[in-house]
Structure 1
Amino acid sequence: MSERFKPFATVALIIEHQERFLMVEELDEYGKKVFGMPSGHIDAKEGIITAALREGFEESGCKVELTALTGIYDYVKDYETIYRFCFAAKLSEIPEVLHTADPDGEILNVSWYTKEEIYAHKDKWRTRLVGRCMDDYLKGERYQLSLIHFLEP
């Protein structure tokens, strides 16, 4: 019998304000500083929408409002498979200063970037998903949130 397949399910948020995008900096598994949109794993017994709202707050320190699903990605990275749900979101309130609320202390910095700055630093992306999610967002990919149905346990 083969080993049971155990993919990772993650969420990411593209938060745009005044033609700038909120990005977070962190260290990857090799200790290299990388950046990407606020994102993270869906916790056990947590819905996709709830996870996106939680990750948005934890990594940006701000409450967010999801506006659309921009894509679902099937990504194989080295030794793992990741299913990524990427959302367009906006901040409920625009703070003067961004501060992470990351309980794990993994986020080093939260900043606004132009799309040109994001694409100029491809070598610092957390994964290729940063570029693919941005590409689809900038092409106007938007799907209604009602596409996702959460069934109560």
Structure 2
Amino acid sequence: MTPVLSSQSGMSLVEVLVALFILALASAAIVMTLPRQPSRLDREVARLELAIDRLADEAIASGEVRAIRLGEDEYGAEAWRGSRWVALPRSAHTLPPPLTISVSTTRRGLQESDPKDWPHIVADATGIVSARPLTLTEGTDRRVLTVSSSGMVEVER
């Protein structure tokens, strides 16, 4: 048996520090590649986009005019039945505070007014969508949604 010298057993402090440094670099690289969590505002924008897309699809499938009525902090789907708007069950969604939603009252610089009690986003039975620009706000952060006649939503920051 040969005696083990103390300089040959274990790792030196420098070797341990180098290994920890390499692990820290690898961890940082992994954390930087992870997707960031979307903000509450971005999640609500995506949810409203999905509701508008579903609105056009349901209007085509059902053969009736469908709409989304907006409140300051909520929105819900409706259908045109028997000469009036009827709220669809389980379609209402309340925005989490402090998010708010608003609708532009002008288009191309002209003041426009909706017919009384007419919803803000409407899709006819052919899937054509009519809507004014919408603004979702959370504090000073806001997103402006513009809806095309085909139902495609464009989001401006």
* Greater share of residues in helix: 2
TM-score, structure 2 normalization = 0.26
The structure that has the greater radius of gyration is: 2
* Greater share of residues in strand: 1
TM-score, structure 1 normalization = 0.27
Bigger RCO of structures 1 and 2 (CA < 8 A, at least 6 apart): 1
